[in-house]
Amino acid sequence: IFGRLCRYIGQPPVIGEVIAGLALGPSLLGAINPDAMHLLIPSQMVDPQGAVATSLKVIAQLGVILYMFLVGLELNAAKLKHKAHAAVAISHASIVVPFTLGTLLSLWLYPMLSDRDVSFVSFALFLGVAMSITAFPVLARILTDRNLQNTPVGTVALSCAAADDVTAWCLLSLVVGVAKAEVGNAAFVVGGAVVFILVIFFIVRPLLNRYVEIMDRSESGLHPYAIVSVYVMILGAAALTEWIGIHALFGAFLLGVTIPSDSSIAKSFQSKLKEPVTVLLLPAFFAYTG
């Protein structure tokens, strides 16, 4: 309902989904009637293990992982060949400028919001990284709602956001490493991200292209085992990036990019997954966030 209202007034539906989460959570419903909120999401006294909240989080994560895979499927990487330099320049600028402004802002905010238990360096780095992160799923959702994901602007924007997402998580791990004096963890995240990207593009992509060619030549259509294998790869790529220290959605998105958008596998997943994910699962992610 909130999504429909936002669409009616010219705003992206994702804004309404986040507002719905805010309305159902402690920000509004919890402030007005806590018992009604706990009826929807039981409190820790009623649900000591947090099973309801955990289940909602799992549904939300699954929705955004499958959605980012679909976004990757629709992304035409061929359009980036002549705009790669622009995408890299835009991506770096969109990190450097807000990062610099965020660290400068910390000079004013540190005395107000922090104390001597937190070093100024950690505070400044955290604020800089927080200001430089792009909300990748939100950007992708807005572009697809506006049917801009396959336009030149949409393609460059998604590519920049993907690069920003990886860089931001690497920076965040560096900040945590500096704060905890464990810089080795940051090196693991950066190295793991580089290795994952290289493996995806130079090992997984050629194998997938060969697999897709075989499936396209098959007259019997996609075998159920082929569909199951793709789901396993989606969850495997997501779990691997989560283990490395980057968000799970990046692995699913990058796997989707490696599958040719005009293949039978891509078309099948786009037709069968789009409505269940965008109508049912994905709103749960934004509502849960709210």
Question: What percent of the chain lies above the pLDDT cut of 70?
Answer: 90
DSSP 151: S
- For the stretch 192-227, what's the b/e string if a residue is b when 16 or more beta carbons lie within 10 angstroms of its beta carbon? bbeebeeebeeebbeebeebbeebeeeeeebeeebe
The 10s digit of each residue's pLDDT in 110-139 is 999 888 888 888 889 889 888 888 788 888
Confidence band for 199, pLDDT divided at 50, 70 and 90: very high
Whether the per-residue pLDDT at 181 is higher than 80: the answer is no
Mean pLDDT over residues 160-165, rounded? Answer: 82
Q: How many CB atoms lie within 10 A of CB 154?
A: 22
Q: How many CB atoms lie within 10 A of CB 123?
A: 20
Query: Residue 49's pLDDT is what?
Result: 56
234 contacts 65 by C-beta, under 8 angstroms: yes
Whether the per-residue pLDDT at 54 is higher than 90: the answer is no
Q: How many CB atoms lie within 10 A of CB 276?
A: 12
Alpha-carbon distances, residue 55 vs 50, 116, 204, 284, 289 (angstroms): 9, 39, 32, 11, 14
Query: Residue 78's pLDDT is what?
Result: 64
- Lowest pLDDT segment from 45-49, 86-90, 273-277: 45-49
Alpha-carbon distances, residue 12 vs 8, 18, 215 (angstroms): 9, 11, 37
Most confident listed range (108-112, 134-138, 214-218, 267-271): 108-112
Q: Which sign does the torsion angle of CA 49, 55, 56, 61 carry? A: positive
Whether the per-residue pLDDT at 143 is higher than 60: the answer is yes
